[in-house]
Amino acid sequence: MSMAAAAPAPVSAAAGAAPVILAENVAVDYPGRGRTRGIRVLQGIDLAIARGEFVSLIGPSGCGKSTLLKVLSGLLPPSEGRVQVAGLRPAEAARQRRIGLVFQEPTLLPWKTALDNVAFLLSIADRGLRRSELRERAHEMLRLVGLDHAAERLPGQLSGGMKQRVAIARALALDPEVLMMDEPFGALDAITREEMSDFVLDLWQRTGKTAILVTHAIDEAVLLSTRVHVMAANPARIVEILPITLPRPRTEASYADPAFTRAAARLRASLRHGRPGDAA
């Protein structure tokens, strides 16, 4: 069932082009202790994400969303199956700075200014850059996230939302092809979380990066995504892939769009039953 009139096409791979992120029949087993059998935590994961898409992974807490993101980012090798990011194994893609990661906690160095925190990963990844070049790049990224005025502030002088913007700027300083975010707004209050959703949506539209967001927030997934992958647990698996055809640009008015209501209801049913929900 179509949920809305066709939206303007998002930035994506050309017809027939290889997906920028590919996962085929991916499984992850956690080993047991002694003679105890291991636990399968991911099962039969298939993903194909085009360049420039914004894909959300949604599911109940503890269902394996973060584990899947660790596999896609190269932090955790799969027990079975194949994963590629930009045609490379994820660990190699990360080494080549093709992947930018943002976690729930911004993990800023408290003794460094916002500017120096943004420059930190880049200074490690490219030791050939002069300090002036690092600072210029960091300033550019702070301007991108609207925090150039806070360049010399320490993390203790920043709000929660500002800290996450610095963390996103730090990831973008590497100029990754893919930005992967693991519940980056989970620790924020409701108002700041909505503001950050608007910020990330605007940032994605301006940069054209491929983005993957782990979330458990239905409205957030609908507002931001081109597609939402619904996950269930025991073991973690994808039970539905829902295209979001909500027209763009998406604004606060999008929440009142009937297409938004239908998509949110569909996701809610799928999450409740652990299987594709009936169309609203």
pLDDT digit string (tens) for 167-199? 999 999 999 999 999 988 877 888 888 888 888
| 261 and 197 part of one domain | yes
Per the CB < 8 A criterion, the answer to whether 79 and 28 are in contact is: yes
Average pLDDT over residues 238-245: 93
Residues 181 and 71 in one domain: yes
For 19-64, the pLDDT digits (tens) are: 999 999 999 998 766 556 678 889 999 999 999 999 999 988 888 8
52 with 156, same domain: the answer is no
Name which residue leads in pLDDT, 191 or 256. 256
The verdict on residue 16 lying in a domain is no
Domain region containing 169: 105-175
Lowest mean pLDDT among 24-33, 155-164, 245-254, 269-278: 269-278
| pLDDT of the residue at 1 | 28
Q: How many CA atoms lie within 13 A of 35 on its CB side?
A: 0
Q: Is the pLDDT of residue 10 over 50?
A: no
Whole-angstrom distance, CA of residue 231 vs CA of residue 214: 11
Mean pLDDT for the chain overall: 86
In contact, 184 and 167? CB cutoff 8 Å: yes
Cα end-to-end span (Å), the chain:
9
**199 and 87 together in one domain:** yes
Q: Quick one: 212 and 187 in the same domain?
A: yes
Give the count of beta carbons closer than 10 Å to the beta carbon of residue 98: 21
Domain boundary pick from 175, 199, 233: 175
Which residue's structure tokens are 């298939």? 46
Q: What is the number of structural domains in the chain?
A: 2
Whether 229 is covered by a domain: the verdict is: yes
| Over residues 250-268, mean pLDDT | 92
Where residue 90 sits, what CATH number does that domain have?
Answer: 3.40.50.300
Q: 200 with 192: CB under 8 angstroms?
A: no
Domain boundary residue among 127, 144, 175?
175
Angle (CA) 67-31-95 rounded to 5° is 45
71 shares its domain with 163: no
> Tokens standing for 26?
């991916």
